[in-house]
Structure 1
Amino acid sequence: MKDHVLIVDDEPIIRNGLKSFIDWEKLGLAVEGDSANGLAALELLRDRPVDILITDIKMPVMDGLELTREALKINPDLQIVLISSYNEFDYVREGMKHGAVDYLLKPTLEADELIAVLLRCKERLAGCRKQADEKTRLARQTSLLERKRIEQDIVRLLAGAREETRFADLFGRRGAAYVCAYVMADCLSEWGERYGNLHASIVYEDLQALFYEQFQTGSAPILAGEGLLLLYPRDEGAGGHSIERFKARAEAELGLSVSAGYCEVEASERLETAYRRSRAAAERRFFEGTGRVFVHDGTNDGTNGADEAGGRFEEMNRHAMLELVRAEKDGGAVLDGFVARWRREGPSPEQTKREACELLSAFAYASGDTRTVTGFRDGVWRCDTVSRLGELMRALVREMEQPNRLRLNDNGHGGQLVAKAVAYIERHYRDDLTLQDVADSVHVSKSYFSNLFKKQTGQNFIDYLIDLRIGEAKRLLVRNECRIYEVAEKAGFNDVKYFSKLFKKTTQMTPVEYREKHQR
């Protein structure tokens, strides 16, 4: 990084001489410009980045001492070197008192003498910058700790449904207006299937860090199993515009699609009410699609967890569903009718999924094998749109109508199938392995294998895969033959940053800390 120098002297020959006197580039300096008097120099100081000022003491219009005083008002860290044709000690004392670094005589000035002073200026500038960086770091750390404290309070208050808590109570600004936004990562269940149960927490931590970068004030508590709640003063940005910018950054910097709902509230309004409104707005994603920002329209305060239509929606009981399934030979047609009904009548996502689980039970009961349903309920509840719910239900209904040949009451055979799959996983876990790849290797459907694998091993496939990869990473770290990025690659992780985060989540140590611990 170059420091910028301004030369001020009323004699052109002196200005030009100083510019050619030494090798500025070699010293890491650049002459930003020169001026014939202090007044002109002040204009340059206001418009240009200047770190070091070399100025004559006696000049017309504005002398060097007045320039020193005024220049330091503009930039308190400015390093000032006084020069003169005379040994003017009274002026020198005055200049040094105001903050000049040194005083040089023009008639006897040597290059080495000027270089020594300039190097001292550079050293002082480096100290100023280090001090400023440390001050900024401490201020950010203090701000972050305060944010975290407020976030803990918010999570606790929401868990206890403290209706009396107002925004002014949390943030202390009684005349302000606030934005409350509920943010959900899209397709999180699909990411979780590929990267494991810890992935969701990493995703929301990354989104939280992005919020801290974009918003100077406000808090973003992570609501476990739900989403991210953004709370910030409206003067940080109007709700729709700032959330759209946050969403765009999540897509560009994190590769994430997010959906959000928001509302704007006054400082006197309640936290719980704003939370319910923003969440109700965000849940429009279920019927209207992912990757969008929804504003609370004033018709639903979220008190029932559903909009007005959802509040009037009557769920069909399992007996009626069973009669319908038995009466209709085409299971797909029955399912299409339910999806159309959900879209038309607009129940809440919770009501829709609850009815979907009941419908799934009816199909399973009609097929004579209720064991099929147990492992699929989680998949239903993880669907973030009615379209994805419909796709999942169609796949499950097809499996019930056309049972896989290995769906037998033969635990021994099922165990052999999983053992064969485990051997395949252990051979290929360093590759970009998916659940579909393993299911194909043993010639069964993905959903059937997923449930069979969990039944036989007590673990989800992806969590078992991650355990294998983390175990291999530990072995490589202890051997201490590879760099961290090489360990990640050899263990089957494509992204070293993601590997490091996941490793710390699993072991409570960074890869470096783990290696150091096992080298002692």
Structure 2
Amino acid sequence: MYKVLLVDDEKIARMGLRATFDWEGNGFHVVGEAANGQKAMRWVENREVDILITDIAMPVMNGLELTRITKEFCPWAQVLLLSCHSDFEYVREGIRLGASDYMLKPTLNEDALKSLLICMRGRIDLEKRNLQILNEYREKEASQFKKPAEKNSKSVPPIPPEETLHERIVTQATSYIKLHYHKGISLQEVASHVSVSRNYFCEMFKRVTGQNFTHYLIELRINRAAELLTTSSLKVYEVAEQVGFNDVKHFSKQFKKCTGMSPAEYQGLYLKTK
């Protein structure tokens, strides 16, 4: 059972959350409810939280501060922020602090909640495995450090297992990107595909590839566009559409930024050298 904590200063909202979804029947257990972040701390500090569903605006301690503290005590936990109205400044801050997703209360229903929870469940399993591997590696390193060092030892340090895991996840992600780069693919979509949180994926992707997701995707699209410009009779706007750009002006700007030439100049240069 995945442990769920419900936090909202309105009792009727908490009652609605309980009634909206068949928690136990879907493998989730509601460990408790709280009217604000401060009252939720008993579960957070005891590390009894896998999923936190919290309102953003609450007295004493709001949902953003609760998110920050929850991620410190329970780094595997997934956080769903709730609000009565769109406030993207709060949402942006919540995502920065480690929230997994955001939902408007009026749009909350059983199907939408179930879809999010299933996705979160996969992320929790992966995050816990990552933490287990990391802890095992640290324990192994600590035990080796305590042993007397052999003289003139030239052994090569092993690759930390979390690095191997990160590389495998990023390889899965790049394979998915290469299959879907021509569509309106997003960072969240790719992170969900490999079952990790958006923030965790950003850090991992940059560490392994040396590029952030946006730069990687643009470079992939521009490389494919350059190939199409020199191997097909497609017009510039058609090439832009083929590689995932909806705006031909934006495509031209990015193409020139990467190659030093506009798409038309690049295509013309190739035709002259044929």
**Aligned partners of 1:86 and 1:20: how far apart in 2?**
22
**Aligned partners of 2:66 and 2:26: how far apart in 1?**
25
* 2:109 alignment counterpart: 110
How far the C-alpha of 1:110 sits from its partner, in A, is 1.8
Opposite residue 102 of structure 1, the aligned amino acid is D
SS at the partner of 2:117? helix
**Aligned partners of 2:40 and 2:131: how far apart in 1?**
26
How far the C-alpha of 1:30 sits from its partner, in A, is 0.3
Opposite residue 72 of structure 1, the aligned amino acid is K
Pairing 1:14–2:13 present:
yes
For 1:123-138, what aligned pairs fall within 5 Å after superposition?
123-138=122-137
**Aligned partners of 1:131 and 1:48: how far apart in 2?**
17
* 2:68 alignment counterpart: 69
Q: Which runs of 5+ in 1 are unaligned?
A: 151-168, 172-520
SS at the partner of 1:94? helix
Opposite residue 52 of structure 1, the aligned amino acid is I
Opposite residue 25 of structure 1, the aligned amino acid is E
**Aligned partners of 1:56 and 1:105: how far apart in 2?**
10
Opposite residue 28 of structure 1, the aligned amino acid is G
How far the C-alpha of 1:127 sits from its partner, in A, is 0.6
1:215-265 Cα deviation digits (max 9, x unpaired): xxxxxxxxxxxxxxxxxxxxxxxxxxxxxxxxxxxxxxxxxxxxxxxxxxx
* 1:101 alignment counterpart: 100
* 2:54 alignment counterpart: 55
Opposite residue 61 of structure 2, the aligned amino acid is M
* 2:178 alignment counterpart: none
Q: Which runs of 5+ in 2 are unaligned?
A: 151-274
Opposite residue 26 of structure 1, the aligned amino acid is G
1:313-359 Cα deviation digits (max 9, x unpaired): xxxxxxxxxxxxxxxxxxxxxxxxxxxxxxxxxxxxxxxxxxxxxxx
How far the C-alpha of 1:137 sits from its partner, in A, is 3.6
Cα distance change, pair 129–48 in 1 and its aligned pair in 2 (3 A): closer
Return the structure number with greater relative CO, CA threshold 8 A, min gap 6. Answer: 2
For 1:225-240, what aligned pairs fall within 5 Å after superposition?
none
SS at the partner of 1:61? coil
For 1:410-429, what aligned pairs fall within 5 Å after superposition?
none
Contact 2:47-2:74 at 8 Å conserved across structures: no
How far the C-alpha of 1:27 sits from its partner, in A, is 2.3
**Larger of the two Rg values belongs to structure:** 1
Q: Which stretches of structure 1, 4 residues or longer, exceed 6 Å deviation after superposition?
A: none
**Aligned partners of 2:140 and 2:73: how far apart in 1?**
28
TM-score (norm 2): 0.50
Contact 2:20-2:109 at 8 Å conserved across structures: no
**Aligned partners of 2:43 and 2:135: how far apart in 1?**
27
Cα distance change, pair 87–136 in 1 and its aligned pair in 2 (3 A): same
**Aligned partners of 1:33 and 1:19: how far apart in 2?**
10
How far the C-alpha of 1:36 sits from its partner, in A, is 0.5
Opposite residue 138 of structure 1, the aligned amino acid is Y
How far the C-alpha of 1:120 sits from its partner, in A, is 1.6
SS at the partner of 2:128? helix
SS at the partner of 2:25? coil
Opposite residue 42 of structure 2, the aligned amino acid is E
* 1:380 alignment counterpart: none
Cα distance change, pair 143–79 in 1 and its aligned pair in 2 (3 A): same
Pairing 1:86–2:85 present:
yes
Aligned residues: CA RMSD: 2.4
Pairing 1:38–2:34 present:
no
Contact 2:76-2:127 at 8 Å conserved across structures: yes
**Aligned partners of 1:46 and 1:86: how far apart in 2?**
30
**Aligned partners of 1:140 and 1:114: how far apart in 2?**
38
Opposite residue 64 of structure 1, the aligned amino acid is G
Aligned residues: 150
Opposite residue 54 of structure 1, the aligned amino acid is I
**Aligned partners of 2:54 and 2:104: how far apart in 1?**
12
How far the C-alpha of 1:140 sits from its partner, in A, is 4.9
Cα distance change, pair 103–170 in 1 and its aligned pair in 2 (3 A): closer
How far the C-alpha of 1:118 sits from its partner, in A, is 1.1
* 1:293 alignment counterpart: none
Opposite residue 32 of structure 2, the aligned amino acid is G
**Aligned partners of 2:68 and 2:127: how far apart in 1?**
19
How far the C-alpha of 1:17 sits from its partner, in A, is 1.1
How far the C-alpha of 1:104 sits from its partner, in A, is 0.6
How far the C-alpha of 1:7 sits from its partner, in A, is 0.2
**Aligned partners of 2:131 and 2:72: how far apart in 1?**
17
How far the C-alpha of 1:47 sits from its partner, in A, is 3.3
Cα distance change, pair 74–23 in 1 and its aligned pair in 2 (3 A): same
For 1:397-416, what aligned pairs fall within 5 Å after superposition?
none
For 1:403-482, what aligned pairs fall within 5 Å after superposition?
none
How far the C-alpha of 1:13 sits from its partner, in A, is 0.9
For 1:474-493, what aligned pairs fall within 5 Å after superposition?
none
Cα distance change, pair 170–109 in 1 and its aligned pair in 2 (3 A): closer
**Aligned partners of 1:135 and 1:62: how far apart in 2?**
32
For 1:242-391, what aligned pairs fall within 5 Å after superposition?
none
1:183-214 Cα deviation digits (max 9, x unpaired): xxxxxxxxxxxxxxxxxxxxxxxxxxxxxxxx
**Aligned partners of 1:43 and 1:134: how far apart in 2?**
27
**Aligned partners of 1:57 and 1:25: how far apart in 2?**
25
How far the C-alpha of 1:43 sits from its partner, in A, is 2.9
TM-score (norm 1): 0.27
* 1:26 alignment counterpart: 25
